[in-house]
Structure 1
Amino acid sequence: MIAETVCSAVSAAGLGIAVVTAYRRRFLAAARLAAYSLVPVGLVMTGVVGWLADTALSPTAWAGFGVLAAAWLLFAGTRAVERRRAGAGGRAEAAGRDAVAPAAPAPSLGGKVRPATDRAAPRTTSSRAGSEPAEDFSDIEAILKKHGI
């Protein structure tokens, strides 16, 4: 009963502020305020406020929230343990297990494949031209060749 009265009072106050805002010729802001002001009354009329008030004051509901929190902690704890175990010694095993198709052959291209000699050498910037060697993209090329690109 109190929750419904408070929601009605908040809506009435919001609609009053919307009227004052419209009087100042700020119609868009007034319409937005009116929309926000009607939400509490709509919640009261649908029964959501009464349900929330009954839930907030119910010891059974709070016990249910406690059970849900315990379940969430169990899920989070088991996930943390799984990650710790996978990171400690099972990296190689996990990598082999998580591969999409570790024994699959390389895909066929169906067309003519360009030889690796046709590719241009990696470029270097003019400031590093003589001081450092060009970046090595051999690992990237190997991955692209593996996938037939």
Structure 2
Amino acid sequence: MKEENIKTAARILLGAGLIAAGIGHLTFARKAFQAQVPNWVPLKKDDTVVYSGLVEIALGAALIITPKKHEALVGKIAAGLFVSVFPGNVAQFTHKRSAFGLDTDGKRFLRLFFQPVLVYWALKSTEKSKINH
């Protein structure tokens, strides 16, 4: 039961983080998120930030309220989102774009290693318990 409580807390925290990031996309951090949009994305940078913010809010809410039987699927979708936005982190690093306090090559480079942590977090916090299944 303790493992299940930790997973639930981790899933809810991740969902809340996605909601907060999504709100940031739409409001106070909108300009900063534009620094992460690769030049090859065929949409305007602001449109990309707005659409991805809406997706993050929806996915964050889904992580929090989805019934247990669908949690693993939502976790895989969240992991897919984290993989799909990774090119933005690479673009921020390669184009030396400062945002979110990432104002040196070293900081931008270290940020690249956080994305796999988010993927793992999404998958681990939503996987079916080995005890009950």
TM-score, normalising length: structure 2: 0.35
Where relative contact order (Cα < 8 A, 6+ residues apart) is larger, the structure is: 2
Please identify the structure whose Cα radius of gyration is greater: 1
